[in-house]
């Protein structure tokens, strides 16, 4: 059972700058893994993330390190023990899911005993900017059901207030991307509740979130950078009320499905998130979105050019990609 492997990096520009508390992004570099067997091809995408010490070269090198095992017929369970969670394992895992479904003449949805995803509400992101400009951006999305507001630690009240005034009916997720202190988080609790914020995502640095164990927040707090894999679940369950599962953190759909079950067993809420990516990353994530409390899969909507058979997005409603892209 010989399999062939190829992988390459692809650059794609964004429609507009994507600003968070750690910096600005104007393009992405995606690594696509392709696995062929018997004339059938499966594909998966991983997005290297500098926050986790990844770049396209390191991700490609990780993929190349298991070339001989892929050639010998590596499957998804075998992959889990070969590579750590991250973008490289995600690209390979999703490629193997796609390949397995195509070889069997079925879909990944059917393999999991789930209906094919249809449409779902996704958060639309308001990029970090001056409060006035954030309000203008929110006004353009005022009819969307769910907005994610990127903030920093300098003037978060003004940033959030500008968005709330421009989009009074939308549910809000506030995401400081590790940019707050514990004191600031405590001070903001009454304001966050008054502003009708639904969720605060990763307010504190991941290596300085132990203070959350003694905090009873007025608004639930979600772990993003603090949560990657099952090894983190016990620690974060004592500090957070929600986890953000991203395939590039978990290292693929296989482990992400396990993480979702772990969170539910502990009474935690689940967000399904993504990096800024193409629809090839979003297709497998949609399977998790079917049983999520929050969906944040607008990554492809930031791109100037996505795959022709990619997801659609209108007014915060995300529609699934076609099966020619990935056997969803």
Q: From the candidates 25, 148, 186, 246, which is the catalytic residue?
A: 246
* Nearest residue to 257 (alpha-carbon basis) of 148, 143, 112, 129: 112
- C-alpha dihedral sign at 44, 104, 288, 148: positive
Reply yes or no on whether 25 is catalytic.
no
Reply yes or no on whether 148 is catalytic.
no
Are 286 and 117 in contact by the 8 Å Cβ rule? The answer is yes
In angstroms, the Cα distances linking 214 to 87, 207, 221, 239, 240 are 33, 16, 13, 8, 11
Q: From the candidates 148, 150, 186, 249, which is the catalytic residue?
A: 150
Q: CA-CA distance, 209 to 90, in Å (whole number)?
A: 27
Tokens coding 259: 């993480």
50 phi/psi in degrees, rounded to 5 = -60, -30
186 phi/psi in degrees, rounded to 5 = -65, -45
Q: CA-CA distance, 100 to 36, in Å (whole number)?
A: 10
DSSP symbol at 37: E
**Which residues lie below 8 Å from residue 326, measured CB to CB, with a gap of 6+?**
43, 44, 94, 98, 108, 280, 283, 284
Tokens coding 199: 């969720």
**Which residues lie below 8 Å from residue 262, measured CB to CB, with a gap of 6+?**
230, 233
Q: CA-CA distance, 176 to 179, in Å (whole number)?
A: 5
**Which residues lie below 8 Å from residue 246, measured CB to CB, with a gap of 6+?**
224, 272, 273, 274, 275, 285
Output the furthest CA–CA distance in the chain (Å, rounded): 61
Active-site annotation, residues: 150, 246
């Amino acid at each position: 059972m010989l399999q062939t492997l190829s992988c390459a990096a692809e650059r794609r520009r964004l429609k507009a700058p994507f600003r968070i508390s750690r910096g600005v992004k104007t393009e992405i570099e995606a690594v696509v893994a392709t696995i062929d067997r018997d004339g059938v091809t499966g594909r998966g995408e991983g997005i290297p993330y500098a926050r986790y010490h990844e770049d396209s070269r390191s991700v490609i090198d990780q993929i190349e390190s298991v070339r001989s095992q892929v050639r010998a017929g590596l499957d998804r369970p075998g992959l889990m023990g070969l590579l750590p969670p991250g973008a490289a394992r995600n690209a390979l895992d999703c490629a193997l899911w796609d390949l397995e479904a195509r070889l069997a003449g079925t879909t990944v949805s059917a393999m999991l005993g789930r209906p094919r995803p249809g449409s779902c509400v996704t958060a639309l992101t308001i990029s970090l900017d001056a409060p006035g400009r954030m309000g203008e951006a929110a006004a353009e999305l005022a009819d969307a059901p769910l907005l994610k507001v990127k903030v920093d630690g300098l003037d978060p009240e003004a940033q959030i207030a500008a968005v709330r005034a421009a989009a009074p009916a939308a549910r809000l997720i506030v995401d400081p991307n590790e940019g707050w202190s514990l004191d600031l988080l405590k001070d903001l609790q009454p304001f966050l509740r008054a502003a009708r914020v639904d969720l605060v995502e990763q307010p504190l640095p991941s290596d300085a979130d132990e203070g959350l164990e003694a905090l009873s927040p007025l608004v639930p707090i979600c772990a993003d950078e603090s949560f990657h894999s099952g090894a983190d679940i016990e620690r974060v369950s004592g500090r957070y009320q929600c986890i953000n599962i991203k395939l590039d953190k978990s290292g693929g759909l296989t482990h992400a499905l396990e993480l979702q079950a772990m969170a539910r067993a502990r009474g935690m809420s689940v967000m399904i998130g993504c990096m800024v990516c193409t629809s090839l990353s979003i297709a497998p994530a949609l399977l998790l979105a079917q049983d999520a409390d929050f969906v944040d899969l607008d990554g492809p909507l930031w791109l100037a050019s996505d795959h022709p058979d990619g997801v659609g997005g209108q007014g915060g409603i995300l529609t699934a990609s076609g099966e020619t892209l990935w056997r969803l």
